[in-house]
Amino acid sequence: MANSLIIKTLNSIKRNPKFLTTFSSQSQIHTRLFTSIASAQEPQSEDPSSSTFTFSSDGKTQKNDNNSSIYVKAPSSNSQTTSSSSSVTMPMSFMTGSIVGKRFYKEVKVRESEDGVGWSVMLDYRTLKTPSKRPLKLPTLPLAKAVAAEWEYQETDGIRPFSMPLMKLACTALERVPLTRPKVIEHLMKKFNQDLVFCRAPEDNILTRGVHERQVEKIDPLLDWVESEFGFKPVVYSSFYGGKQEDGLIKAIENLLKKTDDCELAAIDAMASAAHSLIIAIGICRGKLQIEDAIELIRLEEDLQVDKWGLVEGGHDLDIADLKVQISSAAVFLGLSRRI
């Protein structure tokens, strides 16, 4: 399901190659990507005892510690809230990929948040919340429609978080990044000197000469872009332990990360983790690399090995599919989260 959703979105992006370029998105692009319902009215429930359905991991009505359980929590008799404030809270297991329960809703809609800041996803008349029970307020309507589409595609026998990459990224951007921003940046910069694009296969070895030539052909243009963009020429090396980049380049990259918003940093972190390259992630963010180009660079050496020795079914093919989902979903999330 995640693959089909990503493929549909990528087809729209291909028709608009500048979609991911900073501040170059157009509203017409956004409105063509998803056509989910953009507003919803909350019906009033006549039975207050059934007004709140909650996914949670801390409910007192649970008989075990399985945080994937679903239970119905009736509002307190002392509560001043009405049935219109009902909501759906996702459990923490949603972030880890476990199946969290059967589909309990019939209709998925999108509406503007009650405070007018952001957009909410509605499962029937229930407002979707994050695992820590905060309102899932998405910054743009296109992103809210995309997340709603992921919920709409869920089967009746179970809700599968691994088929909802945009929802996972949204929870990361809204919950984890604001609380751990310095640590996220520190983690990215800690691995910067070992970036994939800085590692060069030895030229004087017959076994790696082909890889070296392909790296020069495909990666050097990206390194030239880094030099023109940040004013410092990257250093390439042939050691597994990495090399030391110029302090000026390190500082420039760190400053760029500090200026990102939460959605941008979440997307960059996800792409850098999948690509083993912060430079490739920034290249996608800045519009230098298209998704297909980025995947080609990430898999450059492995694809050469596959061409030489053959593809292992159930291994290489699954790795390729997983990489495409991770990079594509983060790139799509990045593009849809940008306000016009």
Reported as a single tens digit per residue, the pLDDT across 71-101 is 333 333 343 433 344 666 665 555 555 777 8
Rounded to whole angstroms, how far apart are CA atoms 261 and 113? 20
Rounded to whole angstroms, how far apart are CA atoms 119 and 111? 6
Rounded to whole angstroms, how far apart are CA atoms 326 and 340? 25
Residue 1 pLDDT greater than 60, yes or no: no
C-beta atoms surrounding 107 within 10 Å: 11
In the chain, the amino acid numbered 20 is L
What confidence tens digit (pLDDT) does each residue in 261-299 have? 999 999 999 999 999 999 999 999 999 999 999 999 999
Q: Where are the beta strands (DSSP E) in the chain?
A: 53-55, 70-72, 87-89, 108-112, 119-123, 126-129
Closest CA to 200 of 152, 236, 253: 236
When mean pLDDT is compared across 1-15, 240-254, 260-274, the lowest value belongs to 1-15
Residue 13 pLDDT greater than 70, yes or no: no
C-beta atoms surrounding 226 within 10 Å: 22
> To which residue do tokens 């709603």 refer?
148
pLDDT at 97: 58
What confidence tens digit (pLDDT) does each residue in 135-190 have? 899 999 999 999 999 999 999 888 888 899 999 999 999 999 999 999 999 999 99
Residue 37 pLDDT greater than 60, yes or no: no
pLDDT at 92: 58
305-330: average pLDDT: 91
Give Cβ neighbours of residue 174 (< 8 Å, ≥ 6 apart): 130, 134, 136, 137, 262
pLDDT at 158: 87
Percent of the chain with pLDDT over 70: 71
Q: Which 8-state DSSP code applies to residue 5?
A: H
203-216: average pLDDT: 87
